[in-house]
Structures are given as structure tokens and as C-alpha cells.
Amino acid sequence: MKIKVKNLGALKQAEFTLGDLTIICGYNNTGKTYATYALFGFLSTWRRMFTIQINADKIKQLLANGVIRLDIQEYIKKSDQILNEGCKAYTQELPKIFAAPAERFKTTDFQVSIDIQNISLAARFNREIGSGEASLFSITKSEGSKELVVTLLVEKEKVKIPRDILKRIIADALKDIIFDQFLPNPFIASAERTGAAIFRKELNFARNRLLEEMGQADKNINPRELLFKVYQDYPLPVEKNVDFTRELETIFQKSSFIAENYPDVLADFADIIGGKYTVTRNDELYYEPKGQRIKLSIDESSSAVRSLLHIGFYLRHEAQVGDLLIVDEPEMNLHPENQRRIARLFAQLVNLGIKVFITTQSDYIIKELNTLIMLNHDKPHLKQIAQVEGYRQEELISSEKIKVYIAQVVSIILEGKKRRTRCQTLIPANIDPELGIEARSFDTTIETMNRIQEAIIWGEE
């Protein structure tokens, strides 16, 4: 999956490919968060943005005969057009995604390309649509089949669903079959996640006040606008983080595939935060330090505990194979040792089938990932080092799974222009299987600091 943007915030022209582990690094105000939020917004809304047309005659046939068969290949042939039109529709939504003036995105272009040639129809698909406890019709695809079968499960006289809605439901099924394999389900921990954790109760109060206003409002006021007024000044990722913290009591009842199958991963995370999170029946959120018989409220807990709250709940209660975990600045509030450990945790997640996307300014995270890359070779001395230093095989990672981009100003030829110009873009970093990631923006800063300190120490000689 490749993303290409023009005139998106600081990024004048840039593209990046989503890997198993994707990293964007660079200085402040270079467009890292813009790229991150735009990606998250697209993956969160693509089903709504994509349009698949279902022939009205097919609906008539369904209601007349009780069953229709759709050739999925016919819709795959149109997938490029569906994707391009969906990206155009999404570009128009960017002001809402960023909660920013439309003028700011007047010349923005956002494009996604996927490898249409590798669309797989191997998986089964089964969905039943009903009303109350009764199923009205089913949408199925057998394993390896190229046909989508829609079947009425009741007499046609009892089907009260409008035909437009029938079209939309069938179209949504086709979207999932064709595109879901390329577009992972995203979960984001935004840079504002610490504030969302602290003020979760206040955010509940704000929603309750709006509900009270709705009951007292003039009938001419649109209640939907009033209800969502609390979010209108916040980007979609922040809104999602707020919603997540407000729903922790419900989320706490669920169990992820990691919790069910890989308890060692959760144990590693517990070591990083030095305890665990708990939610009571009264929707009270606490942090319990390991080895101590106390419960701390989140605002009493350390900034590191608050910073990792969303990731912790995601890992234990939400994570599924194929997801994309997006973390804006995972190093936020973390000691260097824990920055190293969070890098090792991300590598484990990638090896378990969860894609990870991060923005970072942490040399510790990059250097630790380099260590994991360099140790991932079948050489006796490397195995010995890994054993002595406490690295496990499941933490090591192949360089082929990683994509790294540096946000920086370079001289390039913009599309439609004939001469070079200096602008902000994303440059792919070299990744050597033996030496790891070449992160020039970090190396230059470290070299400058070392040069100054050497001059201070040895300057008199």
C-alpha cells in the first residue's frame, strides 16, 4: 500500500509505502503528524468514501427469485476507479479529519495505490442481515469462490428494507471482500493521548451537559449538530482517543488475541509500566504498581503510565491479527531504557502479525531497532550476544519488514514543474541487513554534540 500526498501541511510532495513496521522521523514541524493523521483518517473512513454501484435489476431479481449471484471479478476490474474516486472523496473530507479550515486543504491531493493484481478471493465471507431476532437475508462467498451469493431468508413480502439500503449493504460486502485485505484496521495513540487519559471524566461531563442542552433546546436546532459540538474542534485521531478512554469499562470486558495466546507480550508491557491498569464496575480507572497494595488514579500516576494507557488497553483488549497500530511519538515521557523496550515490543507485535506505524524523534528507538535487525542472523557469535544481553528470538526483526522515512527539506522537481525547488518531503532511509537503519537526522545531531564535547575536553592540548 503506497500513499502519495501533495500540499499536505508542511509536506509539499511526498510518498511512502506501508511496511510491517513503518517509521517516519525528522525534526519538529516537518509534516510527520500530518502524514500520520491523514493515513489514519483514510483507513478509518474508506468504506464510507468508496462507492460500488449495484444494478437495480439485480435487486429486482433478488426480490423476485429469492437469490442472486454476483461475479466479484466484474467489480475487481473497476477497483482502480473505485479507489481513485474514493481518494478524491476523502481529500474533500480532510478539513473534518484535521478539524481545520477548508482553505488549508484547497490544493491538497491524497492518493492511495494498492497491488490490484494480488487481490485474493481465497477467504470465506458470511454475513446475515436481520431485523430484531429474525434474519432477512444472507451474503456469502465460499472459500476460493469468485461469486457472491445473496439469499432471501424470508418471504419477499416480509422484506421491508428499502432497495437503496439493500444496494448499500451488498456494496459494503463487496468492499470488504475486495479491499479489506489491503487496508488494515487502524488503532491510534495520538500525541494528545496523555490529556485524553487525564480528563476522561470531564469529557463525560461535557457530553452529559450537551445531552441536557438537547432536552432544553429549541426544536429548530439540529440535535445531531448539538451532540457532536464537543468534538468539532478536534482532529479525528484525538476524537478517537477520547472515545476510547470514555469506553474503557466496556473495552475492559473484551480480550485480544494477544491476551489469549501470547501472555509474555503483556508481561513485557507490564514490566515497562511497572504494574497494570484496572477498571472498576463504577467505571473508575486505576493503575496498580507491581508489588504494592495500592491503587493510583490516572492523574496520580506517572506521565509514562498515562502515555502508554491506550497502547496497554489495545494490546490486552482490542488487538487482532492484521491491525495497524499507529503511535505518534511512542517515546513521549519514557526513560531511555523504556524507549528501548518499547522498540522491542513493537518488533514482537510485527512478528505476531500486527502492523506498526510510528513517528519518532528518539535515537534510542532507532538504535534498538538496529540491534534487533543486526542480531537477526544465523551466526554463532550473534546468538551468543543475544543470549547474554537477554534478547529473545521473537524480538528480532528482519530488515525487509521495515520502512523508514526521514522528513526533511530537499531539492526536487515538483510534478508539473520544469525546475528544481526546495521543499519538505519524505526521503526513504537506507536499511542494511547487517548494520540497520541509516537515520541521518539523528546521526548529524549526535556527531555535532560529540564534536563539541571533544573540543571542550581536548581543546587545550
Q: Which of 7-11, 141-145, 202-206, 323-327 has the highest mean pLDDT?
A: 323-327
What is residue 280's predicted lDDT score, i.e. its pLDDT? 86
Distances 237 to 191, 314, 330 between C-alpha atoms, Å: 9, 15, 15
pLDDT at 274: 96
Q: Which helix (H) or strand (E) holds 78?
A: none
pLDDT band at 27 (very low <50, low <70, confident <90, very high): confident
For the chain, which residues make up each domain, given as ranges?
1-51+76-115+321-461, 193-319
β-bridge partners, 289: 275
Q: Take residue 44 and report the three cell numbers written for it.
A: 478509518
Query: pLDDT (tens digit, 9 = 90+) per residue, 353-380?
Result: 999 999 999 999 999 999 999 999 999 9
Per-residue pLDDT reduced to its tens digit, 44-67: 999 999 999 999 999 999 988 999
Q: How far is Cα 152 from Cα 138, in angstroms, rounded to an integer? A: 7
What's residue 117's pLDDT?
A: 83
Taking Cα atoms as reference points, which of 418, 37, 69 lies closest to residue 192? Answer: 37
Give the per-residue pLDDT at 221: 55
Summary mean pLDDT of the chain: 88
pLDDT on residue 449: 84
- Coil, helix or strand at residue 6: strand
Q: What's the pLDDT score for residue 205?
A: 47
The fold of 1-51+76-115+321-461 is Rossmann fold (3.40.50)
Residues near 130 by Cβ (< 8 Å), separated by ≥ 6?
A: 136
- Its pTM stands at 0.88
Q: Where are the beta strands (DSSP E) in 171-213?
A: 186-189
**Between residues 422 and 95, the one the model is more confident about:** 95
* Nearest CA among 89, 38, 45 for reference residue 426: 38
The answer for residues whose C-beta is within 8 angstroms of residue 125's C-beta and 6 or more apart is: 139, 140, 141, 148, 173, 176, 177
pLDDT tens digits for range 161-218: 788 988 999 999 999 999 999 999 999 999 888 766 656 555 554 555 555 555 655 5
Query: What cell does 55 get?
Result: 444494478
CB atoms within 10 A of CB 57: 9
- The pLDDT value recorded for residue 6 is 94
Predicted pLDDT at 213: 57
Cα–Cα distance between 128 and 135 in angstroms, integer? 6
pLDDT tens per residue across span 14-23:
999 999 999 9
CA dist., res. 200 & res. 206, Å (int): 10
Radius of gyration of the CA atoms of the chain, in A: 25
Q: How far apart are CA 284 and CA 297, in angstroms?
A: 8
**Mean pLDDT over residues 93-119, rounded?**
93
Per the rule left: phi > 0, alpha: psi between -120 and 50, beta: everything else, 64 is alpha
Rounded Cα gap, residues 415 and 403, in angstroms: 24
What pLDDT shows up at residue 193? Answer: 81
